[in-house]
Amino acid sequence: MDMEGLETIDVMQKLAIPLPVVVISDLLGVPSKDRAMIKTWSDIIFLPFAKETYDDINAQKAQVMKEFYEYLYPIVLEKRKNPADDIISDLTKAELEGEQLTDEEVVMSSIGLLGAGNETTTTFISNAFYSMLFDQPGIYQELRADLSLVPKLLEEVLRFRFPSVMDRRITQDTAVFGHEMKQGQMIMAWVGAADRDEAQFAHGDEFDAHRPNNQQHLAFGSGPHFCLGAPLARMEARIALSSFVKRFADIGAVEGFEVTDHLTDSALGQSLKSLPIRLA
Ligand code: HEM
């Protein structure tokens, strides 16, 4: 991720895209030469659906799942025979009440982990740069003066720029705020809206890295399905941003930057596909 001597970089290509895939591939123990392929597969698995392209996207996802599965299966067999110090090996050894995961279950869990940490963490890191440039201009110099502000800035990015949406199937008839919900129905909860709730966050529509309670957001969910990778995502973003801030005296927006030219139609709703910035 060499940025030395460059005046302008695309933060996505230089940092936000490569870092999460390098980290998660190494943790799982898959060969580093395959990272680009893993990134391509994960992106397709997480492609958002649209009515017009539903069949095409579904077919792409099915094809990629098949390729991903066939790629990982021999790796899992090999690691079960000769375990190494990595997560796939740990999954092959894991035991609960005398039962182990089957090879198929280890493959599916590994696909889940390789995919889950990619796009989300990329969005997290790129949104942090966007926020430093446009949501709270001037904060970069504060970070340079006091690196302990980095984790607080990152929590505010998660609160302010992570509009999580979660789907759930209703297991029994109920009513929430007067809205009836029937068993078997699907609901989409716009959890991100809670992160702007004025009762919880004063001036919730304003970005403020100094906000005292900004870590009380729901970007990683809540309850039994709370994000397994939250500590990893936080650590990756903290190390990436602290190292960057220490190395570069300042950052700036490139002339004529229009955010609408740089957005994906990601399921997350607010994802950048590129973010050019000036380095000083
Ligand atoms: C900023 C980055 C991330 C965000 C915003 C995020 C967000 C979330 C959210 C909202 C959930 C809960 C989904 C629900 O309740 O339906 C979740 C679950 C999960 N996340 Fe993350 N995630 C991030 C990074 C990661 C990483 C790096 C990994 C893997 C290493 C990961 C693995 C998982 C897994 C396995 C679950 C399912 C947990 C369960 O169902 O018990 N996530 N994540």
Per-residue pLDDT tens digits for 54-69? 899 999 999 999 999 9
Is 229 found in the same domain as 94?
Answer: no
Contact 92, 79 (CB under 8 A): yes
**Which pLDDT belongs to residue 269?**
56
Any ligand 1 atom below 6 A from CB of 113: yes
Whether the predicted pLDDT of 151 surpasses 90: yes
Nearest CA-CA partner of 156 in 195, 116, 190 = 195
Task: Please tell me whether residues 98 and 83 are part of one structural domain.
Answer: yes
Report whether residue 227 contacts ligand 1, using a CB cutoff of 6 Å. yes
Taking 70 as the threshold, does the pLDDT of residue 136 lie above it?
A: yes
Q: How many domains does one find in the chain?
A: 2
Tell me, yes or no, whether 166 and 110 share the same domain: no
CB of 228 within 6 A of ligand 1: the answer is yes
67, 82, 116 - which closes a domain:
116
For a pocket test of ligand 1, which of 19, 188, 220, 227 has the largest count of ligand atoms closer than 8 A to its C-beta?
A: 227
Other C-beta atoms closer than 10 Å to the C-beta of 112 total: 12
Ligand 1 contacts CB of residue 166 (under 6 A): yes
Is there a single domain that holds both residue 193 and residue 155? Answer: yes
CA distance 232 to 22: 13
Residue 2 lies in a domain: no
In terms of residue numbers, what domain contains 13? 9-116
Token readout for 174 is 């109920």
Q: Is 189 in the pocket of ligand 1 (CB under 6 A)?
A: no
Name the average pLDDT for the chain: 93
Does residue 162 register a pLDDT over 90?
no
Q: Is there an atom of ligand 1 within 6 Å of 229 CB?
A: yes
Distance 19 CA to ligand 1 centre (A): 17
Whether residue 270 has pLDDT greater than 70: no
- The residue whose CA is least distant from atom 1 of ligand 1 is 121
Pick from 66, 85, 116: which residue ends a domain?
116
DSSP output for 82-121? S--SSHHHHHHH-EETTEE--HHHHHHHHHHHHHHTHHHH
Do 278 and 169 share a domain, yes or no? Answer: yes
Which of 85, 116, 147 is the last residue in one of the domains? 116
Predicted local confidence at residue 1, as pLDDT: 63
CATH no. for residue 164?
1.10.630.10
pLDDT tens digits, 183-230: 999 998 888 899 999 999 999 999 999 999 999 999 999 999 999 999
How much of the chain exceeds pLDDT 90, in percent?
80
